[in-house]
Amino acid sequence: MSEPVTILANGRFPESGLALGYLDNSDRIVCCDGSAGKLLEYGLTPWAIVGDLDSVPEDVKQKFEDRLFHSDDQDTNDLTKAVRFCINKGINEIVILGATGLREDHTLGNISLLADYADSIPVKMVTDYGVFIPVKSGEHISSWPGQQVSIFTIDKDMKINSVGLKFHLAEMELQNWWMATLNECTGDSFSLSFDNGRVLVFLEIPT
């Protein structure tokens, strides 16, 4: 299976053109638990429904019992269960939708988990306002002049440098999440370099 799989988390249902474009054009949508009901209301059918299944309506369970994958592992959340399901199915790329926009604690947790997922599979999280991606040191990230870029690190003691951003980062230690937000790309790409550690980038997409 070479096409990316879309995971629909049970946060705010996508509304923007970019996010809905991924959803509408996906042949395989893995729903995290209760998001299956939202997807059906939108008019699409889940390829798989993964999680502890406690928020899946009974009528949905009965109709799609052939694609229910139950996990009661309390050491992780339903999004991680869905990612592991995809990896076990041999999927080689994931797009995550619906992972933000409702409870802030869930939003923060889901975003931070991207850094862990990236160790196993190419992944990005698309919201109604942009895209979160985990990046590697020296990787060239496609962009455009003026695109807003925010940078976050999971490991605050590392030093980070940038090429191609309006506000240059030079051996900067990101001791708090706000410190490298609202930067801008100056060309058609930019790159970051850092020693060890995990970095997430948010790329703003105009709505």
- What's the half-sphere exposure (Cβ side, CA atoms, 13 Å) at 128? 10
Provide the β-strand partners of residue 201: 133, 151
Domain ranges, residue 149: 134-204
What CATH code is carried by the domain that includes residue 44? 3.40.50.10240
Residues 174 and 153 in one domain: yes
Q: Among the three residues 112, 128, 144, which one is the final residue of a domain in this structure?
A: 128
Residues 99 and 160 in one domain: no
Token pair for 145? 């002049």
Residues 142 and 192 in one domain: yes
Contact 46, 36 (CB under 8 A): yes
pTM above 0.75, yes or no: yes
149 membership: H or E segment, kind and range: strand 148-153
Q: Residue 206: its pLDDT value, please?
A: 87
What is the spatial distance between Cα 41 and Cα 70, in angstroms, rounded to a whole number? Answer: 22
Q: Residue 193: its pLDDT value, please?
A: 97
Question: For the chain, how many structural domains are there in total?
Answer: 2
What CATH code is carried by the domain that includes residue 147? 2.60.120.320
Q: Residue 71: its pLDDT value, please?
A: 87
Q: Among the three residues 77, 96, 128, which one is the final residue of a domain in this structure?
A: 128
What is the spatial distance between Cα 3 and Cα 176, in angstroms, rounded to a whole number? Answer: 36
Token pair for 57? 């309506």
Amino acid at 15: E
Residues 183 and 82 in one domain: no
What is the spatial distance between Cα 39 and Cα 117, in angstroms, rounded to a whole number? Answer: 24
Q: Residue 27: its pLDDT value, please?
A: 94
Residues 80 and 19 in one domain: yes
Residues 140 and 111 in one domain: no
Residues 84 and 147 in one domain: no
Residues 115 and 21 in one domain: yes
Q: Among the three residues 72, 103, 128, which one is the final residue of a domain in this structure?
A: 128
Q: Residue 156: its pLDDT value, please?
A: 79
What is the spatial distance between Cα 92 and Cα 74, in angstroms, rounded to a whole number? Answer: 26
Per-residue pLDDT of the chain in tens (207 residues, 90 and over written 9): 457 899 999 999 999 999 999 999 999 999 999 999 999 999 999 999 999 898 998 999 999 999 999 988 877 899 999 999 999 999 999 999 999 999 999 999 999 999 999 999 999 999 999 999 999 999 999 999 999 999 999 887 899 999 999 999 999 999 999 999 999 999 999 999 999 889 999 999 987
Contact 114, 132 (CB under 8 A): yes
Residues 94 and 165 in one domain: no
Q: Residue 2: its pLDDT value, please?
A: 58
Q: Residue 73: its pLDDT value, please?
A: 81
Residues 63 and 110 in one domain: yes
Q: Residue 31: its pLDDT value, please?
A: 98
- CA 171 to chain CA centroid, Å, is 27
Q: Residue 207: its pLDDT value, please?
A: 76
Residues 22 and 75 in one domain: yes
Residues 120 and 156 in one domain: no
